[in-house]
């Protein structure tokens, strides 16, 4: 209804404002507009199933068992779920969505930041810090201590995990909608497996100093197809 605040709507539905944002995939109250249908689940969170996502993936994301999710939603066969279907995740907290809100900086954008930190090397041509040659930097370097949690910049599927001692070290590639990929390099550990579906903001890795690196940081790339593009064009300002 026009004139109602997020807090008003949340109170009427018996949930907190944070839960209402999470249930409806919103990063700020600006997404609440008159006439929009809002969803809420007392004692849990509403989740919209994505194409290719399994109940096992959802279970890992929220830390709720497949059995509990299936029982709560009357799902007799956990292998038969449909993209676009709304289900309730019993007992889920808003912690994941709070991370999304923080790393989106309250803005709607294609990707969120994979972590907080200072950009020490932007996208584009530069003198390579190790080899001293002119070299195109296909992503951005974000200065963070080793072991900092890395979050998925968008929902998608784990496409590749590899080790490249002469380059990105331990690296992770996620595949997203519309032909986009994100790459996370110089990792100390990877927390997901190939083929797994991950939600935006989900913990996927820990930053490190592996491969050809001058110090602990995260190398982050956005690609469309196989072509690297400047991540800052798609990240919140």
Q: Give the whole-angstrom CA distance, residue 93 versus residue 36.
A: 24
Secondary structure (DSSP) of 123-159 = SEEEE-TTT-SEEEE-SEEEE--TT-EEE-SSSEEEE
What is the percent of the chain where pLDDT is above 70?
97
Q: Are 220 and 139 in contact (CB under 8 A)?
A: yes
Q: How confident is the model at residue 143 (pLDDT cuts 50, 70, 90)?
A: very high
Tell me how far CA of residue 136 lies from CA of 127, 140, 208, in angstroms: 8, 11, 22
Per-residue pLDDT at 222:
98
Residue 4, φ and ψ in degrees, nearest 5: -80, 140
Mean pLDDT of 123-137: 86
Q: How large is the C-alpha radius of gyration of the chain? A: 19
Q: pTM for the complete prediction?
A: 0.90
pLDDT digits over 186-211, tens only?
Answer: 999 999 999 999 999 999 999 999 99
Per-residue pLDDT at 137:
92
Mean pLDDT of 152-166: 97
Q: How many CB atoms lie within 10 A of CB 177?
A: 11
Q: How confident is the model at residue 1 (pLDDT cuts 50, 70, 90)?
A: very low
Q: What positions carry a catalytic annotation?
A: 217
pLDDT digits over 10-45, tens only?
Answer: 888 888 888 899 999 888 877 666 667 788 887 789
Per-residue pLDDT at 3:
61
Q: Are 123 and 137 in contact (CB under 8 A)?
A: yes
Q: How confident is the model at residue 132 (pLDDT cuts 50, 70, 90)?
A: confident
Domains of the chain: 6-104 (3.10.350.10), 118-233 (2.70.70.10)
């Amino acid at each position: 209804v026009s004139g109602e605040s997020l807090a008003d709507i949340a109170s009427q539905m018996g949930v907190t404002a944070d839960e209402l944002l999470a249930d409806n995939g919103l990063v700020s109250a600006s997404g609440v507009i008159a006439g929009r249908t809002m969803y809420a689940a007392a004692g849990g969170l509403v989740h919209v199933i994505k194409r290719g996502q399994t109940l096992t993936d959802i279970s890992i994301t929220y830390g709720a068992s497949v059995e509990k999710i299936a029982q709560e939603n009357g799902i007799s066969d956990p292998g038969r779920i449909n993209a676009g279907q709304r289900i309730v995740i019993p007992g889920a907290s808003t912690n994941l969505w709070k991370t999304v809100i923080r790393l989106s900086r309250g803005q709607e954008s294609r990707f969120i930041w994979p972590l907080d930190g200072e950009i020490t090397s932007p996208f584009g041509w530069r003198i390579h810090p190790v080899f001293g040659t002119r070299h195109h930097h296909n992503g951005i370097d974000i200065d963070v201590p080793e072991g900092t949690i890395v979050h998925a910049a968008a929902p998608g599927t784990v496409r590749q995990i590899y080790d490249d001692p002469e380059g990105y070290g331990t690296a992770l590639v996620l595949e997203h909608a519309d032909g986009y990929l994100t790459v996370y390099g110089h990792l100390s550990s990877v927390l997901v497996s190939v083929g797994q579906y991950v939600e935006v903001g989900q913990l996927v890795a820990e930053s490190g100093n592996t491969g050809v690196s001058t110090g602990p940081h995260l190398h982050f790339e956005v690609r469309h197809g196989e072509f690297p593009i400047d991540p800052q064009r798609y990240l919140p300002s």
